[in-house]
């Protein structure tokens, strides 16, 4: 039995790897080991673990988020995650570990795995963005043994960075697989909000609405407050039905949450707040919406395939490849407002295959099953 | 006052950065913050902290080495180091942090610093080797804001990896500054061993001897025992006066230490064992010796300048640039023995400036004082 | 200078030690070191640190609360707190450390301090309650070198437990000092809620209201949900103006918070929710209220002096000494409701000096300044 | 299946609990979970784990000893142990946890277990000694749900401390079971040293020898060096064959080890050094010896039953009950020397049953199997 281990540490992690995990779960000769940790265990971030358990057995849980809102807690949580994951890897002794993307705590998976001589596979390497994610992503690349980039350009950057071309498997992003499925199964008449409660304004599914999702930019920690205020001002000015999702765990997210709680308490708006959606439901909500606003990569990745218009704010997604669905704006309330007005007055954009054509999951799963990488890395000159 | 913070976590760290630290200590407008941690605090690794205190005030001590000899403890120690260094950085709030080279725990400095939005400077980036150091070094590069590579080729690799050329300062290696000084002040008649005690065979300073220093290759954890046995066999067969230094803290070093203790207990050899030398004394010992044997980077770096012949064993230094003084051999006792015989029958090699010309420390110190890097990194396409 | 260090890790800690800290701050020959940590640093627990900074300089901050709601996170947070506090004690090298009461994380202060041979002083030892606090309190007693019990009976229990009578100083509880001051300065016409915002029902200060504060009982972790539901049912049935405070960080508090959020979202009640009051303001709110309901020790301690009627629910305060102001009920909605009805129909109870007469703070401060305990403890037979 | 979990963290732990573990291993309806951690995993402390594996399957390994010799590392290691053991308890979910005696890190087991609402059983509670062990032992008592004291007097102290008499099971010490067995199987002609190597002087099994075992007293951290020097002086003066065992992991043990290494290197003595013996072999070595010297509890406990003369030095065992075999001396070389001379000139003392009659293990095992303690502790007034 080949033991393949996946670490899910956030709601975004899960939606981007669920398909791969399902295929591995059902593959003969494979033992899937699912470690759920970090914010995926926390109620205030949507208790993703409960969703996971509907389809998977959880092999271990890793609590490592140290409460607090500053960059210090982000660093310490990563340190604690290394300690916890090492102990868990000792119990599970996986043959290969898969880590997803570039959130700060995913570097812990990479350190624990590579230091313990367990081959490390990584998705979404070679992309460029802002925030600490930019540094984290490339550092993980330099610790990883197998790479699953989403785009041709990303692949070429991995090679530039000295990764052995034989270790690079251009797969596209598995999130697009789910987007493809979402597009097929979308029924605009089915109100996907019903199961989730939410709080605030009573939103009418059959009237136009937009979706907002804004995370802190950790490298601009001292202007997080101003950034979220600009967005709030824009959204209030628009006076349009809005679904707003709470931010991820990052330095600055408590501050954003505080502003959103104040906003909710004021009652003086058209916003309904949600903690979390199941991946497919979230994509259906996006398909029903007129536009996604904020700085989530979902607006750039999944929405490029879905064709959902996106207003991307600030530097968090700087330099990430994007297709036609995105309008970039600075963190300025009137710029945001104007861009949203432009996007909501048009139809969905055509499908883009920039981040894949919807077949990544099987390819990644098969590659993991058959790969046999060497542990000693060497810069490929 | 600009607060410049240096982390010293091993004896090698200290010898390679002492000159930089001395210049910063004496620079007006600069507050030098010296954090001493890891094996630099431990008696069994030579209590480097005591040496440091002769010239410097220690700002903080960080204990983070978790006892044990497996890769797991190496990973967990790194996690603990992140937690400890973050707490210390909060107390010291440095303006820039300098980390040295590529030992596994130095990644902790890089994570704590970069996550906390403190600019990170790094020496020796862009080089290639074996062991986990290879991965660690490049991961640190991708987290660092200022680079001090030692060689032209290293500099070009940093650019290839996407680092902004404006953030790269080709300095040469500060260890060569000390080597230059050692060469000037070397007096072969002064027995540099007298202050250090040591144990085992009573070595005659005025007769020929060789120096052995062999660290584990963490990515070949399961063959550490065999590797050290090959070297032991070769050294015993040579029946020549030998100075043997204990290895660094790494996965596998307890096993090497165990074999060395057995070797010492047998009394059946010409080996004297030492824990640690002061940096300049160690270089004088090397200059007096006929050859350095093992897999330490000292044989490749400092000895290229000193001209001391080196027999480099196995994969730990694979692909690192080297000058004429090095003969590479596999981990095989007769190969080792033959190469040593070849090296000890010849004079010192000519000086090589491959790793610098002896002026790196001042250049690095000045650059740290005047630099003002941006925190947000971005892959330089 | 004698360095006296106090650790404040929760809002309750602060209100019970503020007077002692003020006296030490102003004492010649004393350097007060204030470490603020745990939930006292977190926004969602009222950001006590901001209040502290109005009167004190904070010497160090210690983040150690690991997010999550189960007993595991409570244990791990305590482990992390030991690591953090040890590092901080090394930087501050206090001559004596004062820890307050019995919350789970205060055991970390006791371990770090006693293991490092720093004399440990402890308030509120010798009392009896339920929850894990019961075990924590007595374990701290057995690590502490100086004891400040609040009552005669507590003092006699400390002696029974083998503590040296010379190390025991019957001080009364410093929280009563503040209660005394609150009673003197209380002006029922001044609306103390104005500065705090809060959320939910718009409460009229000049009409009758009650105060609810219910924490989880960690040793009854699996019935936390049922317990809070019983209280919610009672309060809803009473249809009376209510101030409800969020619970402490403990295993189960996320679950209580969830139920309170649902309660708030329902809008179908007369409850206003608050995160935190300044200590004196909270006591004024209690004095204005008709009754305190829940399982906080405030109902037993401060309210015994204030004479505020208390309905104490369940086992959290089992066996703690109490005066006439308390009616004990099981966690049953109709029992709770009936007891509240009884309490709100009567006036305040007479002042009780069970927990002190309001002069504890100066006594504790003076004793800390002049004590010189031996480090080696020995069971006093 | 009832899951009974034992934590072994040192060689002394193992020898005192092995019989209990063997009985549990072979009991129907019981799943024995053995966690091996701390110094029991380390080569330099005799790699106890390897011995354990001959008879048991190890359920989990917990590395938590942070290298370094000061009280700080002792505290931090305990913090790390809480984190590690909590994670392991989550994986193993034991029904009851058994912790042994009073070493500093055993408090971690007690915290993790009691905070997680897992019933905690404890051996050797109620005894009195010096060092931090004195505080640790009683703190564990106040966290534990089931007590197995060794003596009547200890039992009465547990009751005094407020433990419920129904939770106290006077068992005697299981170490006496092994002592009884050792006495039965002792054959003075079988050289028990042969399997262990050791280093230093070539000791003749058939000539008289003494055994020395001296640990640091952590609460006298600054006089550790002087204490060990006094003992060394005495032993050198005696010029008698000596077996010296390396000390435990405690603050100060690196310093003792350093002095022992110097002593060994001097070659000017009659001392053979050993790291570790199997429990039964160690008792046979003691039976063959003329006297045990130092401050180990073995001299007080096991040797009271074996009748081996003991010279007990200093305060580490202060106030522990003892039988006739012990002469107590201060840490003074001539006092030590004189006492040893007195003890080696006489025969073994008669058997004492002070610490039990050799039937503790079965009683403890049966009690663990059948007990069903309540989680909520309450001081028994």
pLDDT digits (tens, 9 = 90+) for C137-185: 999 999 999 999 999 999 999 999 999 999 999 999 999 999 999 999 9
Q: What is the mean pLDDT of chain C?
A: 96
Q: Taking 90 as the threshold, does the pLDDT of residue A46 lie above it?
A: no
Evaluated on CA atoms A115, A121, A127, A133, the torsion sign reads negative
**Distance in Å, alpha carbon of A8 to nearest chain B alpha carbon:** 19
Q: Taking 90 as the threshold, does the pLDDT of residue A249 lie above it?
A: no
**Distance in Å, alpha carbon of B87 to nearest chain C alpha carbon:** 7
Query: Is the distance from CB of A292 to CB of A306 less than 8 angstroms?
Result: no
The rounded distance, in Å, linking the Cα atoms of C378 and D134 is 7
Q: Which of D44, D64, D258 sits opposite B43 (nearest CB)?
A: D258
CATH 3.40.50.2000 in chain B, residues? 2-173+357-370, 180-344
Q: Taking 90 as the threshold, does the pLDDT of residue A23 lie above it?
A: yes
The rounded distance, in Å, linking the Cα atoms of B221 and B130 is 13
- C77 and chain D in contact, CB less than 8 A: no
Q: Decide: residue B95, CB within 10 A, 0-12 exposed, 13-18 middle, 19+ buried.
A: middle
Contacts of B116 in chain A (CB under 8 A): 71-72, 75
Inter-chain CB proximity D60 and A84 less than 8 Å: no
Query: Is the distance from CB of B33 to CB of B297 less than 8 angstroms?
Result: no
A327 strand-pairing partners: A311
Of A110-124, A185-199, D127-141, D321-335, which gets the smallest average pLDDT?
A185-199
The rounded distance, in Å, linking the Cα atoms of A113 and B135 is 12
Inter-chain CB proximity C65 and A66 less than 8 Å: yes
The rounded distance, in Å, linking the Cα atoms of A102 and A122 is 9
Give the tokens for residue B258.
């165990």
Integer-rounded Cα Rg, in Å, for chain C is 20
Contacts of A254 in chain C (CB under 8 A): 42-44
Q: Which of B104, B111, B378 sits opposite A319 (nearest CB)?
A: B378
Contacts of B84 in chain C (CB under 8 A): 83, 87
How many contacts, defined by CB atoms under 8 Å, are there between C and D?
160
Q: Taking 90 as the threshold, does the pLDDT of residue B265 lie above it?
A: no
Confidence grade of residue B44 (pLDDT, cut at 50, 70, 90) = confident
Give the tokens for residue B290.
């006929």
Q: Which chains touch C (3 or more CB pairs under 8 A)?
A: A, B, D
Contacts of D274 in chain B (CB under 8 A): none
What pLDDT is recorded for position C212? 98
β-strands A271-274, A199-200 pairing: antiparallel
Q: What would the pLDDT profile of B158-191 be if each residue is shown by its tens digit?
A: 999 999 999 999 999 999 999 999 999 999 999 9
Q: Which of C83, C90, C91 sits opposite B83 (nearest CB)?
A: C83
Inter-chain CB proximity C87 and B90 less than 8 Å: no
Q: Which chains touch D (3 or more CB pairs under 8 A)?
A: A, B, C
Inter-chain CB proximity B43 and D265 less than 8 Å: no
The rounded distance, in Å, linking the Cα atoms of C77 and C83 is 10
Give the tokens for residue C274.
């608050």
Please tell me whether residue A144 adopts helix, strand or coil conformation.
coil
Give the tokens for residue A378.
């060497």
Q: Taking 90 as the threshold, does the pLDDT of residue A197 lie above it?
A: no
Closest CA to A21 of A3, A33, A39, A38: A33
Contacts of C87 in chain B (CB under 8 A): 62, 84, 87-88
The rounded distance, in Å, linking the Cα atoms of D323 and B1 is 66
3-class SS string, A253-312 = HHHHHHHHHHHHHHCCCCEEEECCCCHHHHHHHHHHCCCEEECCHHHCCHHHHHCCCEEE
What pLDDT is recorded for position B328? 98
Give the tokens for residue C2.
């004698």
Inter-chain CB proximity A84 and D80 less than 8 Å: no
Confidence grade of residue B248 (pLDDT, cut at 50, 70, 90) = confident
Confidence grade of residue B140 (pLDDT, cut at 50, 70, 90) = very high
Confidence grade of residue A199 (pLDDT, cut at 50, 70, 90) = confident
Q: Taking 90 as the threshold, does the pLDDT of residue C44 lie above it?
A: no
What pLDDT is recorded for position C240? 96
Number of neighbours of residue A268 by Cβ within 10 angstroms? 9
**Fold classified for D180-344:** Rossmann fold (3.40.50)
C-contacting residues of D 304-323, CB under 8 Å? 315, 318-319
Evaluated on CA atoms C42, C46, C49, C50, the torsion sign reads positive
What pLDDT is recorded for position B11? 86
Number of neighbours of residue B370 by Cβ within 10 angstroms? 8
Contacts of C62 in chain B (CB under 8 A): 87
Q: Taking 90 as the threshold, does the pLDDT of residue C119 lie above it?
A: yes
Q: What is the mean pLDDT of chain B?
A: 96
**Distance in Å, alpha carbon of A217 to nearest chain C alpha carbon:** 20
Q: What is the DSSP string of A185-197?
A: H--TTS-TTGGG-
A-contacting residues of B 161-180, CB under 8 Å? 161-162
Helix segments in chain C, DSSP class H: 11-25, 48-55, 71-92, 106-115, 133-143, 152-160, 174-185, 224-238, 253-266, 279-288, 302-306, 333-344, 360-370
CB-side neighbour CA atoms (13 Å) of A136:
28
Query: Is the distance from CB of C92 to CB of C60 less than 8 angstroms?
Result: yes
Q: What is the mean pLDDT of chain A?
A: 96
End-to-end CA separation in angstroms for chain A: 35
Contacts of B68 in chain D (CB under 8 A): 41-42, 63, 65
Inter-chain CB proximity A63 and C66 less than 8 Å: yes
Inter-chain CB proximity A80 and C64 less than 8 Å: no
β-strands D310-313, D292-294 pairing: parallel
**Distance in Å, alpha carbon of A65 to nearest chain D alpha carbon:** 13
Q: Report the residue of chain B nearest C91, measured CA to CA.
A: B60
Inter-chain CB proximity D138 and C220 less than 8 Å: no
Q: Report the residue of chain C nearest B85, measured CA to CA.
A: C87
CATH of B2-173+357-370, one of 2.60.40.10, 3.40.50.300, 3.40.50.720, 3.40.50.2000: 3.40.50.2000
C242 strand-pairing partners: C210, C271
The rounded distance, in Å, linking the Cα atoms of D212 and D337 is 12
The rounded distance, in Å, linking the Cα atoms of D240 and A85 is 52
- A107 and chain B in contact, CB less than 8 A: yes
Please state the φ and ψ torsions of residue D355, each to the nearest 5 degrees. -100, 20
Contacts of A276 in chain C (CB under 8 A): none
Helix segments in chain B, DSSP class H: 11-25, 48-55, 71-92, 106-115, 131-143, 152-160, 174-185, 224-238, 253-266, 279-288, 302-306, 333-344, 360-370
CA D183 to the chain's CA centroid: 19
**Domain over C2-173+356-370 is classified CATH 3.90.1150.10:** no
Report pTM.
0.96
Number of neighbours of residue C318 by Cβ within 10 angstroms? 17
Fill in the DSSP letter of residue C159.
Answer: H
Q: Which of A39, A68, A199 sits opposite C42 (nearest CB)?
A: A68
Inter-chain CB proximity A43 and C69 less than 8 Å: yes
Inter-chain CB proximity B115 and A376 less than 8 Å: no
The rounded distance, in Å, linking the Cα atoms of A286 and A292 is 7
Closest CA to C41 of C77, C3, C91: C77
D-contacting residues of B 15-44, CB under 8 Å? 39, 41-44
- B64 and chain A in contact, CB less than 8 A: no
Give the tokens for residue D131.
């060092």
Q: Taking 90 as the threshold, does the pLDDT of residue A45 lie above it?
A: no
Q: Decide: residue C3, CB within 10 A, 0-12 exposed, 13-18 middle, 19+ buried.
A: middle
Read off the pLDDT of each residue in B335-359 and give the average, rounded to a whole number.
97
Inter-chain CB proximity A65 and C68 less than 8 Å: yes
Closest CA to C130 of D378, A337, B177: D378
Share of chain C above pLDDT 90, in %: 92
Query: Is the distance from CB of B89 to CB of B111 less than 8 angstroms?
Result: no
What pLDDT is recorded for position A299? 98
- A91 and chain D in contact, CB less than 8 A: yes
Contacts of A304 (CB under 8 A, 6+ apart): A322, A323, A325, A326, A352, A354, A355
Q: Report the residue of chain A nearest C42, measured CA to CA.
A: A68
Inter-chain CB proximity C84 and B87 less than 8 Å: yes
CATH 3.40.50.2000 in chain C, residues? 2-173+356-370, 180-344
Read off the pLDDT of each residue in A292-311 and give the average, rounded to a whole number.
98
What pLDDT is recorded for position D129? 97
Q: Report the residue of chain D nearest A80, measured CA to CA.
A: D83
ipTM over 0.90: yes
Q: Decide: residue C275, CB within 10 A, 0-12 exposed, 13-18 middle, 19+ buried.
A: middle
CA A205 to the chain's CA centroid: 25
The rounded distance, in Å, linking the Cα atoms of B158 and B333 is 37
**Distance in Å, alpha carbon of A80 to nearest chain B alpha carbon:** 6
Evaluated on CA atoms C147, C150, C155, C161, the torsion sign reads negative
What pLDDT is recorded for position B266? 85
**Distance in Å, alpha carbon of B138 to nearest chain A alpha carbon:** 6
B302 strand-pairing partners: none
- C88 and chain B in contact, CB less than 8 A: yes
What pLDDT is recorded for position B13? 87
Give the tokens for residue C161.
């437990």
10-residue stretch averages of pLDDT, chain D, 381 residues long:
96 91 97 96 86 96 95 98 98 97 96 98 98 98 98 98 98 96 97 91 96 96 96 97 93 92 87 92 98 97 98 96 98 98 97 97 98 96 90
Q: What is the DSSP string of D49-118?
A: HHHHHTT----EEE---BS-SSHHHHHHHHHHHHHHHHHHHHHH--SEEEEETT-TTHHHHHHHHHHTT-
Give the tokens for residue A150.
């989403």
Query: Is the distance from CB of A288 to CB of A241 less than 8 angstroms?
Result: no
- C117 and chain A in contact, CB less than 8 A: no
Q: Which of A112, A161, A219 sits opposite B375 (nearest CB)?
A: A219
Helix or strand holding residue D336 (H, E) = helix D333-344
End-to-end CA separation in angstroms for chain B: 35
The rounded distance, in Å, linking the Cα atoms of D336 and C267 is 79
What pLDDT is recorded for position B12? 86
Inter-chain CB proximity B83 and C88 less than 8 Å: no
Q: Which of B60, B80, B83 sits opposite C91 (nearest CB)?
A: B60
CA distances from B219 to A11, A88, B251, C300 (A): 33, 20, 9, 61
Read off the pLDDT of each residue in B96-109 and give the average, rounded to a whole number.
97
A311 strand-pairing partners: A293, A327
Q: Which of C80, C161, C162 sits opposite D83 (nearest CB)?
A: C80
Q: Decide: residue A359, CB within 10 A, 0-12 exposed, 13-18 middle, 19+ buried.
A: middle
């Amino acid at each position: 039995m080949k033991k393949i281990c996946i670490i899910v540490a956030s709601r975004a992690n899960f939606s981007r790897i669920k398909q791969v995990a399902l295929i591995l779960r059902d593959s003969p000769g494979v033992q899937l080991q699912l470690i759920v940790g970090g914010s995926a265990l926390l109620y205030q971030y949507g208790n993703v673990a409960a969703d996971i358990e509907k389809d998977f057995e959880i092999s271990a849980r890793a609590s490592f988020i140290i409460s607090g809102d500053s960059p210090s807690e982000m660093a310490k949580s990563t340190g604690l995650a290394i300690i916890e994951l090492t102990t868990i890897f000792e119990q599970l002794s996986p043959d290969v570990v898969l880590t997803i993307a570039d959130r700060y705590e995913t570097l812990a998976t990479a350190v624990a795995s590579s230091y313990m001589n367990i081959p490390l596979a990584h998705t979404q390497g070679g992309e460029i963005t802002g925030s600490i994610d930019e540094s984290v992503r490339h550092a993980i690349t330099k610790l990883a043994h197998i790479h699953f980039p989403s785009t041709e350009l990303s692949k070429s950057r991995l090679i530039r960075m000295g990764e052995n071309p034989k270790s690079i498997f251009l797969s596209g992003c598995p999130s697009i697989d789910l987007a493809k499925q979402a597009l097929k199964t979308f029924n605009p008449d089915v109100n996907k909000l019903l199961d989730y409660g939410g709080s605030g304004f009573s939103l009418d599914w059959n009237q136009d609405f937009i979706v907002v999702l804004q995370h802190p930019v950790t490298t601009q920690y001292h202007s997080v407050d101003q950034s979220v205020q600009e967005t709030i001002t824009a959204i209030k000015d628009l006076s349009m039905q809005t679904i707003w999702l709470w931010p991820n765990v990052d330095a600055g997210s408590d501050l954003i949450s505080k502003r959103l709680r104040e906003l909710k308490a004021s009652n003086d708006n058209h916003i309904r707040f949600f903690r979390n959606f199941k991946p497919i439901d979230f994509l259906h909500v996006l398909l029903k919406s007129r536009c996604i606003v904020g700085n989530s990569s979902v607006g750039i990745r999944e929405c490029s395939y879905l064709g959902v218009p996106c207003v991307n704010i600030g530097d968090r997604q700087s330099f990430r490849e994007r297709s036609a669905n995105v309008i970039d704006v600075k963190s300025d309330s009137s710029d945001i407002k104007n861009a949203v007005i432009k996007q909501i007055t048009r139809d969905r954009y055509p499908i883009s295959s920039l981040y894949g054509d919807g077949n990544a999951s099987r390819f990644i799963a098969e590659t993991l099953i058959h790969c046999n990488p060497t542990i000693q890395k060497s810069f490929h000159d």
